[in-house]
Amino acid sequence: MTVIVFLFSLLGAMALGVPIAIALLVCGVALMVHLDTFDAQILAQNLVNGADSFPLMAVPFFMLAGELMNAGGLSRRIIHVALTLIGHVRGGLGYVAVLAAIVMASISGSAVADTAALAAILIPMMRQAGYRLDRCCGLIAAGGIIAPVIPPSIGFVVFGVAAGLSITRLFLAGIVPGIIMGLALIITWYIVARDEPVARAKRAGLKEIAKAVIDGVWALGLPVVIIGGMKIGAFTPTEAAVVAAVYALFVGMFIYREIKWEDLRPAFLSAILTSSSVMFLVAAALVSAWLITIADIPGEVANLLGPLIQNKTLVLIAMMLLVVVVGTALDFIPTVLILTPVLMPIVKQAGIDPIYFGVLFIINNAIGLLTPPVGTVLNVVCAVGGVSMDRVVKGVMPFLIAQLLVLALLVAVPELVTVPAKFFYGR
């Protein structure tokens, strides 16, 4: 009965068009009434405590770093470096998109920001070169979802807070899976685009390559600073977010000189608006999470999975299928916040490594950004590229299948995540 109250109150509020954060609070109130424990003071205290988290401070700073990176010309220079290196090969702009997506993912951690930057620069170039527009839009959208997996990842920050796990370990465990996702896109692009009769860019000379690399060295240095600093223990993920924002601001204003004083207000305002919505979501979700624990909903779900609980792989497959289905209807952060308190007790009961599960969980939720009807990243590509949703959905399908195959591979071979993760964080 408790599970029915939880689902009916949450889904019913969402069906009425209530914002997800408010729907989570409605769900919390419904559970308190059902359990006969309603107390407005406890509700308010849990709401405040939900946002009172030092690790969560990383979210606004990584958001700001992404805004400043785009405004300061760092994104454009990263793409230009990739273009001079591999832009001349057949289908070169597609490989440029994937390579740039990987590098940019290691700076901002935001799929929406990275996709918008890639689409704004590369879609006009690919259109002019004669690429199929739906296919190149699909590739850019699929490349954008690498951002929540490669550190620094806003998704890992939110999941780490909700699950009570080390965000640094989650960051470092996401490096190799994120690169594998990029390789899968490269292979898929090679298969689907090898026969396209497109104009090939002129091969860049050594002098041009050197000039592009020197010009982009400050942009390319930011991932080294962030990941290297966390690896050696110089700073925490929250401190890394501050470093990233200050670095992007300094480089954009004083090195590249593309950020003017009047550009700061819209960049800060955009970061504030996005961060405030995420923080309110987290606070509301942690109210529901507390009540989910009190009501023992994970125990009821575990009973439903009883026949599978002794087999880690089967339990993992069942949970991944659940996330895939939910991800088609909910956006990234709400899915993470709603399912984490339900699934984590089952993960521990089944004896699954929580860090390993966290990586698969975030990859799965990132894939949800490509699935209609919600598909936030798809909507970004449609808006920036001026392309209809049905064309983008058609173009993204081969790359969506490739990312689902990567997820299946990581489920089948856990060592692809666990072995590199232990190497990075030293145990």
Boundaries of every domain in the chain: 1-38, 53-425
Between 321 and 274, whose confidence is greater? Answer: 321
Exposure class string for 14-26: b at 16+ Cβ within 10 A, else e: beeeeebbebbbb
Q: Which tens digit of pLDDT belongs to each residue from 314-356?
A: 888 888 988 888 777 677 877 888 888 888 888 888 888 999 9
User: Looking at per-residue confidence, does 177 or 83 come out higher?
Assistant: 177
pTM as predicted: 0.82
N- to C-terminal Cα separation, the chain: 43
Digit-coded pLDDT (tens) for 2-28: 667 776 777 787 777 777 778 777 877
Region 273-301 average pLDDT = 71
Q: Are 323 and 364 in contact (CB under 8 A)?
A: yes
pLDDT confidence tier of residue 364, bands split at 50, 70 and 90 = very high
Structure tokens at 280: 């309110």
Q: Report the candidate in 80, 85, 94 with the shortest Cα–Cα distance to residue 195.
A: 94
The answer on pLDDT for 87 being more than 80 is no
pLDDT score recorded for residue 411: 93
Mean pLDDT over residues 180-192, rounded?
92
Residue 374 has pLDDT above 70, yes or no: no
Measured distance CA(166)–CA(358) in Å, rounded: 11
pLDDT of residue 373: 64
Per-residue pLDDT band for 236 (boundaries 50, 70, 90) equals confident
